[in-house]
Amino acid sequence: MAVAERLPQLKQDTDILVLPEMFTTGFIQDPILLDQASSFADATIAAVKGWSSRFNIAIAGSFQTKEGRNTYNRGFFIEPSGEASFYDKRHLFCLSPESKLFTPGNALPQVIRFRGWNISMIVCYDLRFPIWCRNRKHQYDLMLVPANWPSARSYAWKHLLIARAIENQAIFVGANRSGNDDYGNYDGMSYIFDPLGRMLAPGTSETSSPVSDRKNAASGFIYAEFSKDDLQKMRMKLPVVNDSDDYNIIGME
């Protein structure tokens, strides 16, 4: 079912919706088709802006776009006001044509302020690289991860989300695609983890999940509620950021 058809089913108090990586097209491996798909980039953002305004929610995800000869896997965060923030995926998956057809981003993930929360974004394969995700001095509270991660590597996906949440003392939202393709199956692998690595919202593959969670996942959404006060108390009680190493990534903005 298309995103536009599912949006009226969202809970009314939802603040942020995270869509999967390349949610409009999936990964296209043919260069000619890729160029054609990239021509719809403006239409994609226009549609997302309309949804964000109509439902009064921020919407994040990724799409493909082209600038000159370069094609990017571009993450987006669209606010109800129409303000848009973008991030170009840095790490392109070496075992797929993505690394040959797309251009890696050259800027660190930015931090966006929305409804009192500091929010950042990476895309799928970026999750494997801890320095790239590093939460320096608690710059972000919430990390969004649109993804296209197959079940063949589901153990890594889930546990990398847990590890990144713990080491960065932040909430991690992994929004994975559904369905299947030549690389495998993708269903039931969207998760939300708190800064202690505890699952706030499981995918449908989690047999121990409550009936209500399974119902939400089956309808296309999983939900979690966060408390900024609880997050701050946890960080004060366990101030590990004070012991973290400082560093610079050469050549990054």
Judged against a pLDDT cut of 70, whether residue 218 lies above it is answered with no
**pLDDT tens digits, one per residue of 140-184:** 999 999 999 999 999 999 999 999 999 999 999 999 998 888 777
CA pair distance 210, 83, nearest whole angstrom: 36
**pLDDT tens digits, one per residue of 173-186:** 999 998 888 777 88
Judged against a pLDDT cut of 90, whether residue 119 lies above it is answered with yes
Judged against a pLDDT cut of 70, whether residue 249 lies above it is answered with yes
Pick among 3.40.50.720, 3.90.25.10, 3.60.110.10, 3.40.50.300: CATH of 13-241? 3.60.110.10
What is the value of pTM for the model shown? 0.92
pLDDT attached to residue 165: 98
Catalytic residues: 21, 89, 124
Using alpha carbons, select from 98, 48, 51, 115 the residue that is nearest to residue 76. Answer: 48
Judged against a pLDDT cut of 50, whether residue 123 lies above it is answered with yes
